[in-house]
Amino acid sequence: MTVHAGPRLLPLPATGNPAAVQELLDDIELNGGAPAMNWFRTIAHAGGLLRRYRGFGAKLLSAGRLSARIREIVVLRTASRCGCAYELAHHRPIAAAVGLTDAEVDAICGFDLPDPLGSATENALLRAVDQLCSEHTVGDPEWALLAGTHPSEELVELLFLVGHYVMVAGVMNALGVEIERYGTS
């Protein structure tokens, strides 16, 4: 994993930005119940992209058809494959909130065991993520297993979810987006 000395672009401040950007950041805070994270404040340098990106990311994160457990398995594995500490830091608590144990999260984020989770479907998900990250496709055995347990809408969503988090990891890593340090000065 490449680590930069610090952020390559500093997050915009929480207030005092040009009107269109400030409106976006204020809306993120209003809908999220907390100030916009460094991720959003960093990509707000390209306000038009942030405006379009939000809907797509929100659909995948909170309004998709995949179960929250499957979504977080996929996000954590993708973040691990891409070496994205920021995504991992933010999604570990989400994974815990949707019922993944610390041992499951560690297994998802590790690559030592061939089938670290308890179900064949979840292990096929991990292999599919690995294949998408390295080969940009999913092998026939994994596809057959997943197609036997998920409707086509979820299969397409799964592919977009991995692709989305690969893209986000690349942007986060390249920009050096720093993990928030809440409660510290």
* Residue linked to tokens 């672009």: 9
Asked if residue 17 lies in contact with residue 155, where contact means CB atoms within 8 angstroms, the answer is no
Under the banding of pLDDT at 50, 70 and 90, the label for residue 114 is low
Cα–chain center distance at 166 = 8
Tokens of 11: 């997050």
Return the minimum-mean-pLDDT range out of 21-35, 68-82, 112-126, 134-148: 112-126
- In what helix (H) or strand (E) does residue 165 lie, and over which residues does it extend? helix 152-175
What pLDDT does 5 receive?
80
Model pTM score: 0.92
What are the pLDDT digits (tens) for 171-183?
999 999 999 986 5
Name the residue ranges covered by the structural domains of the chain.
19-62, 68-174
CATH number of 68-174: 1.20.1290.10
Return the H-helix or E-strand segment holding 126: helix 120-135
For residue 4, the model assigns a pLDDT of 75
Average pLDDT of the chain? 92
